[in-house]
Amino acid sequence: MTDTLLRGRILTFHRAPENSADNSAYSYIEDGALLLRNGMIAASGAFDTIAPQATGARVTDHRPHLLMAGFIDTHLHFPQAQIVASWGSQLLDWLNGYVFPEEARFGDPAHATAIATRFFDVLLQHGTTTAVAYCSVHAASADAYFSEAARRNMRMIGGKVMMDRNAPDIVCDTPQSSYDETTALIRKWHGQGRAGYAVSPRFAITSTPEQMEMAGALAAENPGCHVQTHLSENREEIAFATSLYPDAGDYLHIYDTYGLLSDKMLLGHAIHLSDREVASLAETGAHPVFCPTSNLFLGSGFFNDARLRGAGVTNAIATDIGAGTSYSMLQTLNEGYKILQVQNQKLHALRAFDWITRGNADVLGLSDKIGTLDAGTEADIVVLDAWATPAMQLRMDRAETLDEELFVLQIMGDDRAIAQTYVAGIPQKPAA
Ligand code: GUN
Ligand code: ZN
């Protein structure tokens, strides 16, 4: 395959920036280049240094745009793509009124396949090259998801939800069938190409203790897999979950009882936590996932990033489509900024862009493969245009620094600011 040389301004992170002056946390090259070969970044640096190594390469000049690692969305629901923006209620009513009936439709493999195609198109339009998704309870929905990811050679993680109570029969499995189907899906997909499996008990409310045991067994038998669930999103949910597990003491301890807590675990929301729960997250290395647009949409509450980080916990950030209202990780940062702002916490632009790239990759244990523009990593790349709309152009006339440009993208950007997305070195949009 011919090599490709991308020219443009390059920004990549080495660690989480501590403040907006933490210049050693990242590399920024004004006239940079990436040499792409066989789906990987073969070389990364100044254009003058890289170009001589690129004889015969096809050159794409993205100047004046900014090249960054593709965005990583660590929590969303593939079968909820058609219920984004469903009116009115808070978590439990919203699940019963919209989510469970919608997810029931994914028992039909043809429907799951049709939605998967459009779902992946939308992710890429928003610059998201890796995502961690819940599929429906049906194995067919996970097959549709992973088949589409494989067809596009995307590094995607997902799993069928396990749920055996407090939901209509049509979206329930049983402890044994959830174990058997998850095991079969792991054998079929985990580690095939770029796919990774996440064992996915939906949350304590929709799993019996018997099913939680099965989830624990699956996690123990498949230590390379992630585990994902929901935690402490909403007060009513917490009261219900803890009433179903009266011996647990607190919500997080339910998952702990079944051996689910580890650094492979992603816990969506994690808003209303006791000191004991925060300490347990820090001790086990499990990762809360901040879902700003979802938390505002469902009125769930304000994620306390500083408290968790201060305790030594590493947080992820995500859209949570379909309670989340935008696929854009830029819009997710925008709303995340505001949620932290009302708590007198700050999400400065350098940290924000590290978070949706290297930071989320690090949470997933994948920062050697994705999340940076380092040579030797996979060529998932996003091209950002801070002048994408008239309003952004007006604002950018007064922007003087990289930090200001990034903040404009963080607050005003969305899919219109994604000039191009590369998956394993392949551009996903026709060149303009
Ligand atoms: N808790 C359990 N399931 C869900 C879901 O699908 N969305 C959200 N936001 N919270 C959940
Ligand atoms: Zn969720």
**Assembly ipTM:** 0.99
Residues 6+ apart with CB under 8 A from 23: none
Ligand lying closest to the C-alpha of residue 103: 1
Beta-strand relationship, 418-423 and 426-427:
antiparallel
1 C-alpha vs ligand 2 centroid, how far in Å?
39
Q: Which of 282, 145, 164 is nearest to 214 (CA)?
A: 164
pLDDT score recorded for residue 286: 98
Strands of 316-317's sheet, edge to edge?
A: 71-77, 128-135, 157-162, 196-201, 226-231, 265-269, 287-290, 316-317
Judge if the beta carbon of residue 233 lies within 6 A of ligand 1. Answer: yes
186 C-alpha vs ligand 2 centroid, how far in Å?
21
pLDDT score recorded for residue 432: 60
Token digits of residue 74 = 């660590």
Judge if the beta carbon of residue 230 lies within 6 A of ligand 1. Answer: yes
200 C-alpha vs ligand 2 centroid, how far in Å?
11
Judge if the beta carbon of residue 377 lies within 6 A of ligand 1. Answer: no
pLDDT score recorded for residue 429: 87
Mapping DSSP to helix (H, G, I), strand (E, B) and coil, where does residue 316 land?
strand
288 C-alpha vs ligand 1 centroid, how far in Å?
14
Residue closest by Cα to atom 5 of ligand 1: 95
Judge if the beta carbon of residue 77 lies within 6 A of ligand 1. Answer: yes
230 C-alpha vs ligand 1 centroid, how far in Å?
7
pLDDT score recorded for residue 356: 99
Residue closest by Cα to atom 3 of ligand 1: 202
Collect the ranges in the chain with pLDDT lower than 50.
Answer: none
Residue closest by Cα to atom 9 of ligand 1: 323
pLDDT score recorded for residue 200: 99
pLDDT score recorded for residue 159: 98
